[in-house]
Structure 1
Amino acid sequence: MKKVNRNSSSIITTLMISNLLLAGCGSSGTETDNIATTDDTTKPTSEIATQVYKNGKIYTVNEQQEWADAVAVKDNKIIFVGSNDEVQGYVNSSTKVTDLSGKMMMPGFHDVHIHPIESASENIQFAISVEETNPENFIATIKKASLENPGKGWLIGFGHSIFTLLDSARSPLAIIDEAVADRPVIIMEQSSHSMWVNSAALALAGFTKDTPHPTGGRILRDENTGELNGILIDNAGNMVMDIAMAPANESLQKDYDGLIEFTLPELAKHGITSISDARSFWKRDDHKTWLKAQKNDAITARVSVGLWAYPTADDTAQLADLTALYSNKQDSFLKFNQIKLYSDGITVNGTSAMLAKYNIDLIGIPENKGLNYFSQERIEQYITALEPIGFDFHMHAIGDRGIREALNAVENSGSDKGRHRITHVEIVDPVDIPRFAQLNVTADAQVAGDYTNPEHWHENDELIGAVRSDNAVPIKSLDAAGARVTLSSDWNVSPYNPFIGLQNAVTRAPQELTIAKAIKAYTLNGAYVMRQENKVGSIEVGKLADFVILDKNLFNIEPNTINQTKVVTTVFNGEVIYQR
């Protein structure tokens, strides 16, 4: 994931939050006199609100009552949704009343595919430009990074396009060795699906020209000499990054600091109150970072962690380890109740699993149809073993074969209790579109990245042809076929700002959604895949108070301006966690 520059001005300290709670909701509306309209002595205490919001345009995402003027909250629970007149019955002298002055309120956003720890950690020490087309120009940057991060330990970077390396006149390994030879260097490519490493890194990993390609990965070699060229595709790169990111006190502290000081405040600033950590590397102790945050009462979102299924692990041992990590306490903000696994890679690498071969071979496989991290049979094995425990599966699948095999695995495992989802859904064979609804498999799409917009669809024509490139991420077709669609970011691949995702979702004809369906995809549908649709995801009596107040009404503005919307206030579990 890309290294993020922290903006300290966006970080909300505990003291600031406390002051906001004491002061009321400030700029979200006008604080009114807390004068009861009923006799306090006769009104049952159970029906008196601690907080009332009125005079708003409240979009509930509840089909039985889509719009309301007012909401009453008692502690962390919604006790009334309705008119301005009726809400007065829930007010007494102790109730805090906020006049929304016509502003829009809606449920808090769910981002059910995000990388909240690795995207903000300063364990990635430097970045190189994805725009640079001559890899020789990276030498100075890598040398400088080594000087600025002295020692003999790993030097870890991010950036570049794999095509910059594949098109290099000189071996990429020779270039990176010229930059730094006396310590291991690994640089993650901008998609995160390949790594550029030097000879010292290859030696530590035990990779030689005779090393077999690992499951789900490729160790690239010079096509003339057979020598390694420093490019590791998909899981081959992940294996080396696991060595580079081996947990240590310093690295774990950087992970924690990034999560607490950047990620969680930024999520609150953008109205995101629930997330799925889409790839928790538990062998790197990512789960311990979450547990530390929970212990310190620092979590300001509902979190379902997707535990990473390692492709090269022994299945018996890994299934036992994952079972031991399961946690699903209903009153906890933190749950370890999802499994993240990859069916395939990505199209631009030639590693997404395709039903027909690629037109061009990028990774040295004759008649290449892509890679499998996990085969269909192995996915079935994992679902059969882990679904009864309570795990739901979050399956990365981009190619039409990868998507079909993931659907087959759900069908063949006899699944009837799982809430599984396939994420990315970029190239879907039309035959498989109805199967999402038939199998109750959620289609999770990321459209916040411009690369998913229709004007970019045919950039893959050279690899897979115009027909397969067309209609990428077919969210309208999936929705029309009855599939449950969720929208998410995959941050840091795409922006976490949900208003960018909403705008792209409603403007990407011919595969667009209505604004109402896009909002539902970011709220109630996300709540379903996190198994919390009875608690949050809509504004209804009995649900918990997770909602946001916006500076614009999303239904009354031009679709191409949705990305300019700002969150005024974010309320999580009844408390203000962000105030503009």
Structure 2
Amino acid sequence: MKAKPFLLSSLALSLALATGSASAGENADTVYVNGQVYTVNTDQAWAEAFAVKDGKFVKLGSSKEIMAFKDADSKVVDLKGQFVMPGFIDAHTHPVRVKMVENVFFNNSTANLEHKTPEEFGKLLQEYAKGRGADKEWIFGKAFSWSYFHNTGVTMDRHYLDKYIPDRPAAIEDEGGHVVVVNTRALELAGITKDTKAAEGGKILLDEKGEPNGHLVAGPAIQQVLKYHPAHRMKDVTEAAVESMKEINAFGITSVKVMEGDREQMQAYHDLDKAGKLTMDVNMHPYINEFYFGKSILPALKEKHKYETERFRVDGVKTFIDSSPFGRAAALHKPYAGSDDYGKLYTPYERFKDEMIMYNGMGLAVTTHTVGDRGMSLVLKAMEESAKVNGIEKVRELRNHIAHCFMVEDQDFARAKNVNATMEFSPGFWTPMPVYEMLAQDMPNGMEDIKNFFPIKKAIAEGNNYVAASDWSQSPLDPLQHIETLTTRRMPGASESEKSMNPDAVIPLENAIRSYTLNAAVSLRLEDKVGSLEKGKKANFQIMSNNLFEVPKNQVHAQYPTKVYYEGKLIAENDRKPVEAS
């Protein structure tokens, strides 16, 4: 699809400037003319101009139409053919965690293809422990890739960590975030021995001698150790909220669904908005029990009204039905290769169902992390049970959210549509990745299962509300990187001759953009306010370096917003592609 702008000549613009004003009360604060404006509004997909007043769109149309909204006090911006689109909406992100890892904890990016040997990774740990982490009681952070250790003769376990961090507890996440490896000191501090049973939904793995090897699989087991980690400082949390917001805005994102939270984070966002410094809409879905450290959110939820503001809302909770395909912690309908193991549930179904019913009854949506196809089916079963108790219309209105959707059985798309669930797909993981070759050995149908991960194309065909989201920090924040990979299933920038993770599953650019704008707004229950450029909605928009519909598919990721506006105000400006935190 190509934009078809109807740009005014300088003479036509002069004539337009001379036209009369709109009716009383409609004159705009700013009018933008001569643009290529992609609205994501199916009733008016393209315009060349728009008017903004009091932070909202007054009208979109031709430059001549929009100039009628100018008066003596209005500002006129000549877009000179630039491409304009709505601000992005990231429906799954962990901004405070990202900056806590960057500023406070150990941090190693596995988002690129740069390989590290075990010795190189160990040196990074050692440098942190002796440098920025020298005063820390614990060494905690992310992430290592299992590929660092594949076919090296070196095992990533407690003994490996002991070699580099022998003097205090250490806990390092894998690249998926659902396996944490701890050293011997951490196991000792938590009292974990060969006789310790893992909390329900988790695994404490043992070595060939029957001793704990340091692998903690899924939150319940991770929490058995990390509950001894010192509490976060409010100062660090507030700084993380501020810094992450600046980075989010720089990438053109003007609304987010934060999939974490606690009383400190609620306070931070509350204070930012009350001070007039919150430059994005924030919906928060905190963990029912904080994934790594185990703290319950229920006491803070009961007082959420103290923290909510015009732009900040706590309207859901986050939970898990299963965990990760690594460590066979995804719940499958078929057993893992060469076994009778169908994977482990993170949360027992009966408890999960009761939580779904309870939180929906409180008027809160439930976001559920699910990876396996059996996990997906059970999430939908719980939503259906909630609909029987709370009423189908209430459940549909809440828009319960299914995070990741790695594997989905064909019949489950219709079930998800019936309960109006948001189906979220994770583009940071659907390109060819070296770790998939290892994972294929475990999957029931090998690489065929992996090829069919993240079936967003089927969700579109079935009429589901589909969204793509970063899951920052587990994958990069940049929406344009993910939008490109939605349309190619290749690594960003890869040519058509390079390897694709199932080219039959790609989707058109229009759908990819919609997944990061209007559909995401629906998932936040903000579609009447944001997500498209329409009269009466917030003037959240971005001016792009190039028209996304006119650049080669593999160059979409290289584009960037030159200017980003929230409620009509300029909040970010770039003269080159923003650099993302590692």
**Normalised by the shorter chain, which TM-score bucket?**
0.7 to 0.9
Q: Percent identity?
A: 29
Measured after TM superposition, the shift of residue 533 of structure 1 is 0.3
The SS at the match of 1:117 is helix
Say which of 550, 553, 557 aligns to 1:563: 557
Measured after TM superposition, the shift of residue 327 of structure 1 is 4.3
Say which of 124, 129, 141 aligns to 1:146: 129
Say which of 404, 418, 425 aligns to 1:445: 425
Partner of 2:47: 68
Moved more, 501-510 or 51-60: 501-510
Measured after TM superposition, the shift of residue 72 of structure 1 is 0.4
Measured after TM superposition, the shift of residue 288 of structure 1 is 3.3
Partner of 1:480: 461
Amino acid at match of 1:267: I
Are the counterparts in 2 of residues 279 and 306 from structure 1 also a CA contact under 8 Å?
A: yes
Aligned residue runs from structure 1 range 227-306, under 5 A: 227-235=211-219, 236-244=221-229, 246-247=231-232, 249=233, 252-261=234-243, 263-280=244-261, 282=262, 285-306=264-285
Measured after TM superposition, the shift of residue 87 of structure 1 is 1.0
Residue 349 (str. 1) matches residue 333 (str. 2): no
Are the counterparts in 2 of residues 34 and 94 from structure 1 also a CA contact under 8 Å?
A: no
The SS at the match of 1:47 is coil
The SS at the match of 1:215 is coil
Give the length in aligned residue pairs: 533
Aligned residue runs from structure 1 range 158-557, under 5 A: 158-162=142-146, 172-223=157-208, 225-235=209-219, 236-244=221-229, 246-247=231-232, 249=233, 252-261=234-243, 263-280=244-261, 282=262, 285-310=264-289, 320-321=298-299, 323-327=301-305, 332-359=310-337, 367-414=340-387, 415-417=392-394, 418-449=398-429, 451-453=430-432, 460-464=439-443, 465-466=445-446, 467-508=448-489, 509-557=503-551
Are the counterparts in 1 of residues 360 and 386 from structure 2 also a CA contact under 8 Å?
A: no
Q: Distance in 1 between matches of 2:107 and 2:308?
A: 40
What's the CA shift string for 1:50-74, capped at 9, x where partnerless? 0111111111111111111111011
Are the counterparts in 1 of residues 317 and 365 from structure 2 also a CA contact under 8 Å?
A: yes
Partner of 2:495: none
The SS at the match of 2:99 is coil
Measured after TM superposition, the shift of residue 540 of structure 1 is 0.9
Amino acid at match of 1:219: I
Change over 3 Å in CA distance of 1:152–1:108 after alignment to 2: closer
| Structure 1: unaligned runs, 5 residues or longer | 1-31, 362-366
Q: Distance in 1 between matches of 2:191 and 2:231?
A: 16
Q: Distance in 2 between matches of 1:478 and 1:312?
A: 28
Are the counterparts in 2 of residues 154 and 244 from structure 1 also a CA contact under 8 Å?
A: yes
Q: Distance in 1 between matches of 2:142 and 2:346?
A: 23
What's the CA shift string for 1:188-210, capped at 9, x where partnerless? 22221111212221223232221
Measured after TM superposition, the shift of residue 402 of structure 1 is 0.7
Amino acid at match of 1:382: E
Q: Distance in 1 between matches of 2:573 and 2:108?
A: 35
Q: Distance in 2 between matches of 1:99 and 1:456?
A: 48
Say which of 64, 80, 98 aligns to 2:59: 80
Regions of 4+ moved over 6 Å:
32-35, 328-331, 454-458
Are the counterparts in 1 of residues 88 and 252 from structure 2 also a CA contact under 8 Å?
A: yes
Q: Distance in 1 between matches of 2:308 and 2:41?
A: 23
Q: Distance in 2 between matches of 1:116 and 1:153?
A: 24
Q: Distance in 2 between matches of 1:189 and 1:255?
A: 23
Are the counterparts in 1 of residues 401 and 424 from structure 2 also a CA contact under 8 Å?
A: yes
Moved more, 352-361 or 171-180: 171-180
**Cα RMSD after superposing both structures:** 3.0
Partner of 2:79: 100
Amino acid at match of 1:154: W
Change over 3 Å in CA distance of 1:273–1:328 after alignment to 2: farther
What's the CA shift string for 1:161-210, capped at 9, x where partnerless? 24656875568222322333332111122221111212221223232221
Amino acid at match of 1:494: S
Are the counterparts in 2 of residues 486 and 521 from structure 1 also a CA contact under 8 Å?
A: yes
Measured after TM superposition, the shift of residue 39 of structure 1 is 5.7
Q: Distance in 2 between matches of 1:376 and 1:34?
A: 68
Q: Distance in 1 between matches of 2:545 and 2:253?
A: 16
Measured after TM superposition, the shift of residue 444 of structure 1 is 0.5
Are the counterparts in 1 of residues 199 and 224 from structure 2 also a CA contact under 8 Å?
A: no
Change over 3 Å in CA distance of 1:254–1:134 after alignment to 2: same
Measured after TM superposition, the shift of residue 537 of structure 1 is 0.8
Q: Distance in 1 between matches of 2:16 and 2:35?
A: 19
Aligned residue runs from structure 1 range 44-55, under 5 A: 44-55=23-34
Residue 578 (str. 1) matches residue 569 (str. 2): no
Q: Distance in 1 between matches of 2:291 and 2:474?
A: 25
Measured after TM superposition, the shift of residue 289 of structure 1 is 3.3
TM-score, normalised with respect to structure 1: 0.84
Are the counterparts in 1 of residues 200 and 346 from structure 2 also a CA contact under 8 Å?
A: yes
Amino acid at match of 1:355: H
Partner of 1:18: none
Change over 3 Å in CA distance of 1:507–1:151 after alignment to 2: closer
Q: Distance in 1 between matches of 2:271 and 2:322?
A: 32
Are the counterparts in 2 of residues 342 and 396 from structure 1 also a CA contact under 8 Å?
A: yes
Q: Distance in 1 between matches of 2:478 and 2:136?
A: 38
Amino acid at match of 2:321: S
| Structure 2: unaligned runs, 5 residues or longer | 1-12, 490-502, 575-582
Moved more, 229-238 or 318-327: 318-327
The SS at the match of 1:46 is coil
The SS at the match of 1:548 is strand
Q: Distance in 2 between matches of 1:129 and 1:498?
A: 18
Q: Distance in 2 between matches of 1:39 and 1:312?
A: 59
Measured after TM superposition, the shift of residue 350 of structure 1 is 1.2
Are the counterparts in 2 of residues 319 and 385 from structure 1 also a CA contact under 8 Å?
A: no
Change over 3 Å in CA distance of 1:34–1:375 after alignment to 2: farther
Partner of 1:29: none
Measured after TM superposition, the shift of residue 577 of structure 1 is 0.3
Are the counterparts in 2 of residues 328 and 336 from structure 1 also a CA contact under 8 Å?
A: no
Amino acid at match of 1:481: E
TM-score, normalised with respect to structure 2: 0.84
Are the counterparts in 2 of residues 108 and 273 from structure 1 also a CA contact under 8 Å?
A: yes
The SS at the match of 2:366 is strand
Amino acid at match of 2:361: P
Change over 3 Å in CA distance of 1:60–1:132 after alignment to 2: closer
